[in-house]
Amino acid sequence: MTRPTIGDIIAHDSLLFSRVSLQREVPKTKSIYNAIMDYYSHTEYSPSPAQIERNRWVFFGLLRCQPWMAIPAGILIQFCYGSVYAWSIFNSPINRTLADDPNRGRSEVTFYIALGVLGVTGAIFGPWIETSHPQKSGIIGMIVFFAGHITTALAIQVKMFSMLYFGYGFVAGIGLGIGYVSTIDAVSKWWPKARGTAAGCAVMGFGGGSLAFSYINKWLIDSFTLSTAFIVLGTINFSIMFVCIQFICPPPPGHNLDGIPVIETNTEINLTLGRAAKGSFPDRSQTAKIEEQQPRYMHVFGSERPVIHISLAEALKSHDFWLLYVAFLANIVFCLVILSNLPALINRLFGRESKTPKDPPLEAYVAVSIEGAFNMAGRIIVGFTSDMIGRKTTFIILLAVQIVALICIPITISSGNFWLFLILIWIATICYGGGFGMIPAFLSDMFGSSNTSSCHGVFLTAWSIASVCGGLVFTGIVNRYLSKGYKPYDTKMYHINFVWMMVVVVIGFVCCLFVRSSIRDRLFPALPHQIMRIRIFGRVLRVLWLPSDRIDDTASVADSVSMNQTAQSTSPLRHGLRRKRLHVELLTKEQEQVAWEEYLFLRAVQYQLLKESGNM
């Protein structure tokens, strides 16, 4: 009999991820639905041997490709795309030039359109970006982004808001979505063991661009006509990105694991039998020691490292994907709203428009610049932290910190404590930037490196929803109270806004708790009578509703109930009369490992029995 592999078992087990749906016969004539599902099911980049050889060289084939080159190139590319966050500098000049009433604020709509299109573009083009060479998608994004600037300059020249919305909002938004996703994910794939840090570095460039271009845009407006300023800005971005994109290329095949590991192997234990770690051959006692250390399932399967392959379509059907999506949206909504309203909040609550007008302790533009610096720092600090302590643990901390900040900020407003208010905003901004820096690595860990661009593209729609809807809700509440006669410095309208934002963050926190971030958590079958199982800070917490006579206070349920034990058969009447109690247990690492190894071993036995009975 052919020796079964763990991969065979995983594929056979009906409780696990399966690609059976992809193995069915494809109809000759594809419907639109089938075409879409096919597009979202194949996201692997498959270069030819000649292309693999070309990928070894960068900068027009003159330099040997090195992993570190992707980091500075990615930072500078994202720096240019980050200029979109400095759009507010253009609002007043554009409104004065194009609008009959400069106070109507029609230019501000352009920014919301650009962010909305960015998210939709990422979701639509994600699979194509994943299957394409990152330099190809990066160049297309760069060209489209430049075309948006040229169209914007033309719109200002002919004084048409509709062309402005189309040029910068729609065209530049498409280029931004393609370039943002392709660059970050290309950089992170070079560092599979430090994805959080690599992605955080690249995204840090985006935050740096938002900070630097506030001053660059102001200089352009003072030095050129408004239409010429956009041509110069587009040319600057295009030139920098054109040079940097020459250093972006995909890693060679095998650089990233083709799938998601099912087991975390210990290289000192799970060696191929007959060969020692340093290449020498062990003696009999060493071999015996290695065999003794191996779990039971490894005696059956050898040293194979099994993986699970998940298509994008399967990832999108997973409730873990959408729980993380909600958590990501909750993590960014607060600071996205504050980002555009912080100057108004400072002036109305603590400055010249407050109940007792005075100069604020810190000018609003300086506070915004410092906030941008914290945004940048959070992206790399949180990304690095997630590599150390885990993605889910880090994300839970980010959301918890924001909840505390949102509880305390209304108190600082009521007490007039300006500096504590500002410090809390800056701390929350670290969490905001950190979410962007960590999410590409989080998605890669959960659904595989071949789905990173695709999943990341879908997640960018949360960016669009949070910025557009969050901004509209905040402004709508403020305007409603102002129309009722409240003054801009009245705190009630701001307290209500902080309350709804805190509710959103709390919902995201709860969703994050239930995200099964590791493949082990998704493969674990439920125990009989289990109500809930979540992982908090690396430990498994289980809640069970057990009959009183089944609870043993001297031992953990993990020890007393087998992972695959079926419930004891009882008559419905007797079962209904038995008293039950809620049992909560926090598994130790050792208990979890024992249960996991038992699960793999039982799957091996199941597979062998099915093979012997001829049912496979």
- 537 and 402 in a single domain? The answer is no
Residue 422: per-residue pLDDT: 94
Residues in the chain with pLDDT values less than 70: 1-30, 100-105, 263-306, 548-578, 604, 607-608, 611, 614-616
The predicted-structure confidence for 514-542, as pLDDT tens digits, reads as follows 999 888 888 777 778 888 888 887 788 88
396 within domain boundaries:
yes
564 within domain boundaries:
yes
- 451 and 369 in a single domain? The answer is yes
At residue 581, what is the residue type? R
- 332 and 476 in a single domain? The answer is yes
What is the radius of gyration, based on Cα positions, of the chain?
Answer: 28
- 516 and 407 in a single domain? The answer is yes
126 within domain boundaries:
yes
270 within domain boundaries:
no
Residue 519: per-residue pLDDT: 81
Residue 305: per-residue pLDDT: 59
Three-class HEC string of 257-300: CCCEECCCCCCCCCCCCCCCCCCCCCCHHHHHHHHHHCCHHHHH
Nearest to 395 by CA among 425, 362, 440: 440
Report how many domains make up the chain.
3
First-to-last CA distance in the chain? 13
How buried is 315 (Cβ within 10 angstroms: 0-12 exposed, 13-18 middle, 19+ buried)?
A: buried
Which phi-psi region, left, alpha or beta, contains residue 99 (left: φ > 0; alpha: ψ -120 to 50)? beta
| Range of the structural domain that residue 105 is part of | 66-254
Residue 514: per-residue pLDDT: 92
Residues 221/177, Cβ–Cβ less than 8 Å: no
Structure tokens at 457: 């593209």
User: Which residue has 């909560």 as its token pair?
Assistant: 584
Residue 391: per-residue pLDDT: 93
Nearest to 203 by CA among 77, 338, 329: 77
Count other C-beta atoms under 10 Å from residue 549's C-beta: 9
544 within domain boundaries:
yes
From residue 464, give the alpha-carbon distance in Å to each of 208, 329, 537: 20, 9, 30
Residue 30: per-residue pLDDT: 59
Boundary residue ending a domain (521, 537, 566): 521
- 232 and 352 in a single domain? The answer is no
Residues 438/395, Cβ–Cβ less than 8 Å: yes
* Residues shown for the chain: 616
Q: Residue 194 belongs to a domain with what CATH number?
A: 1.20.1250.20
Boundary residue ending a domain (521, 539, 563): 521
Nearest to 310 by CA among 456, 126, 440, 447: 447
40 within domain boundaries:
no
Boundary residue ending a domain (491, 521, 551): 521
Nearest to 312 by CA among 512, 160, 448: 448
β pairing state of 63-64 and 260-261: unpaired
User: Which residue has 């909305």 as its token pair?
Assistant: 116
- 532 and 458 in a single domain? The answer is no
468 within domain boundaries:
yes
From residue 423, give the alpha-carbon distance in Å to each of 21, 200, 362, 418: 51, 22, 12, 9
- 495 and 587 in a single domain? The answer is no
Residues 383/437, Cβ–Cβ less than 8 Å: yes
- 128 and 159 in a single domain? The answer is yes
- 511 and 541 in a single domain? The answer is no
- 381 and 477 in a single domain? The answer is yes
464 within domain boundaries:
yes
What distance in Å separates the CA atoms of residue 179 and residue 143, rounded to the nearest whole number? 10
Sign of the Cα torsion 43, 379, 86, 402 reads positive
- 243 and 99 in a single domain? The answer is yes
- 88 and 164 in a single domain? The answer is yes
